[in-house]
Amino acid sequence: MKGLLIFGAGGHGKVVAETAEAMGGFEPIQFLDCEYAQLNGNLRWPVSDPQSDAIDEQTRAVVAIGNAPRRMELLEELKAAGGLLPVLVHPSAWISPSAVIAEGTVVFAGAVIQADARLGRGVIINTLAGVDHDCVLGDGVHISPGAHLAGNVTVGEGSWLGIGCAVKQGVRIGRNVTVGAGAVVLKDVDDGLTVAGCPACPIKAAE
């Protein structure tokens, strides 16, 4: 299949579709989402039930689901079925030639990824986000719109950094962390915490 299957037809999925469209080379684009099949007439692309489409070694697919555990679960299923998991990068984004980006990751409009940054599988780098030199992002990390990571930041798998937050250079953020919108992270954050504020402080432990 020369086109692209997008798992998830919500708002995030629409941005993924338009990113793929801007890149070119993905035709046709189709959504797979059992919950949103009724919206088929309200999107520019068709929506069908995921169960009705076979995945094989010729299928190019991306998972457009914000929930990190579910996103990674679906990526594993697609990989096991032999599907191809392309990296999508909007033409207006800038990626350093020395950056390394793993399969299934999406980079949206205006984002910047600098020298020797390393991004894991299924990462989301959202609109106008910045990932500076030597950052390391684990699988399933989501960097929200307008968030900025200074150099040498490490973010553990499954963590979500909220819109407009900022992370000081050299900070290590653990696994499954949530960073609140607009937070300023000045020191390391342990696994499973939710932090918010300026400077960012824990507000609760993840369940």
Catalytic positions, written as ranges: 133
Query: What are the structure tokens assigned to 191, written together?
Result: 């696994």
Alpha helices in the chain (DSSP H): 11-23, 68-80
Q: 91 exposed, middle or buried (CB, 10 Å; 0-12, 13-18, 19+)?
A: exposed
What whole-number distance in Å separates Cα of residue 98 and Cα of residue 116? 5
What whole-number distance in Å separates Cα of residue 52 and Cα of residue 32? 9
Q: How far is CA 27 from CA 12, 13, 80, in A?
A: 19, 16, 24
Q: How far is CA 151 from CA 56, 157, 199, in A?
A: 39, 18, 18
